[in-house]
Amino acid sequence: MSGFGGFLLRRAVGTVITLLAISVIVYVVFYVTPGNVAQITCGPRCSPAQVHQVAEQLHLGDPLYVRYWHFLQGLFVGQDFSTGTSLEHCAAPCLGQSYQTGQQVLDIILGKLPVSLSLVLGGMVLWLALGVGTGVLSAWRRGRVSERVLTAITLAGTATPVFVIGLVLMIVVCGELQLLPFPEYVAFTDDPEQWAWNLLLPWLSLALIEAATFARLTRAAMLETLAEDHVRTFRAYGVGERAIVGRHALRGAFAPVIALNANNVGSAVGGAVLTETLFGLPGIGQELVHAVKVVDLPVVVGMVLVIAFFVVLANAVADVLYAVADRRVVLA
């Protein structure tokens, strides 16, 4: 196949292969380790009978490739877990069962995922608006005092940790000025207004850090585009500077912004641990930290797989959007 359809097919196949490769790496790292894998998986509080039961469920007596095949079967067709007196079916995609709580890992993740997605997607809107807007203004006002001020602000934002910005915002906005309540997660389906109101401060904390990077990237891409021959031609024909910046230079800066944004969104789903912990948001990041603390290996493995899935999916979407913005990518 050729053209855009062939490009989509290649990216889809590449995404599947990447996910399979990640599943192999994750399985080897977590389940092919020195020591008693069944004991590590089950946790320190399991009895010898429970450890033996886990060893049978993980097929530890079989060759490595057979064990990995059973692991894949759980992801694609599901598997059964013995509870001691009966069998419990785990539907695909089965990420295992927590031996600390008895819950299926997928149910735990699905319960935390809306919180992390709410944080990341809301923050994404803000960091794109602030970052791209600042970058465009900085490139447009190049060499002036306003450009130097914006550059200094973006450098400060890049160097400041998210927990510092979050603490300052809470102290000033929630404590001193009392403009916003201290964040407490409210589900969107329960009250959309309170959902947004309580997440506004975490969104700002996350967005101010990321916006600095987007501002610098947008500024660099804009300056490169503004120096190209076709832009000078537009100026020679009397096209206004605002039209050049808004219609032509900004479009040329979209491609790197799309790529960076996809990478940030994918990694931020599981990487916003500091933000979730600082504001007490019960998302995936906090759950992953808790699972590591109590040595709940199935939950850790499931979280890592889900985070990797979001990163790979976000980059695949970025490739497609990149190709839409610049059709030369399709022929590469």
Burial label for 54, CB within 10 Å (0-12, 13-18, 19+), is buried
Q: Does the pLDDT of residue 156 top 80, yes or no? A: no
Unique residue bearing structure tokens 């080897």: 28
Q: How confident is the model at residue 250 (pLDDT cuts 50, 70, 90)?
A: confident
Question: Helices (H) and strands (E) in the chain — how many of each?
Answer: 14, 2
Q: At 151, is the secondary structure helix, strand, or coil?
A: helix
Domain chopping of the chain, boundaries: 4-90, 108-326
Range name among 21-25, 176-180, 237-241 with the lowest pLDDT average: 237-241
CA-to-CA separations, 168 to 114, 173, 179, 274, in angstroms, rounded: 26, 8, 14, 14
What is the model's pLDDT at position 23?
A: 93
Q: How confident is the model at residue 25 (pLDDT cuts 50, 70, 90)?
A: very high
Unique residue bearing structure tokens 């996350």: 206
Nearest to 275 by CA among 217, 225, 204, 174: 204
What is the model's pLDDT at position 295?
A: 83
Class of domain 108-326: mainly alpha
Tell me the pLDDT tens digit for each residue of 257-316.
877 787 777 767 766 777 888 888 888 888 888 888 888 888 999 988 988 888 888 888
Q: At 87, is the secondary structure helix, strand, or coil?
A: strand
CB 184 within 8 A of CB 280: yes
Q: Does the pLDDT of residue 225 top 80, yes or no? A: no
Q: At 226, is the secondary structure helix, strand, or coil?
A: helix
Q: At 88, is the secondary structure helix, strand, or coil?
A: strand
Mean pLDDT, residues 235-239? 77
Residues β-bridged to residue 104: 97
Q: Does the pLDDT of residue 45 top 70, yes or no? A: yes
Mean pLDDT, residues 180-186? 85
Higher pLDDT, 137 or 159: 137
CA 139 – CA 250 distance, rounded (Å): 10
Residue 137's φ and ψ, nearest 5 degrees, are -65, -40
pLDDT above 70 as % of the chain: 92
Q: Does the pLDDT of residue 246 top 80, yes or no? A: no
Q: How confident is the model at residue 90 (pLDDT cuts 50, 70, 90)?
A: confident
Tell me the pLDDT tens digit for each residue of 51-88.
888 888 888 888 888 889 988 888 888 887 765 666 77
The H-or-E segment that residue 161 falls in is none
What is the model's pLDDT at position 35?
A: 72
What is the model's pLDDT at position 22?
A: 93
Query: Residue 298 carries which DSSP code?
Result: H
What is the model's pLDDT at position 2?
A: 59
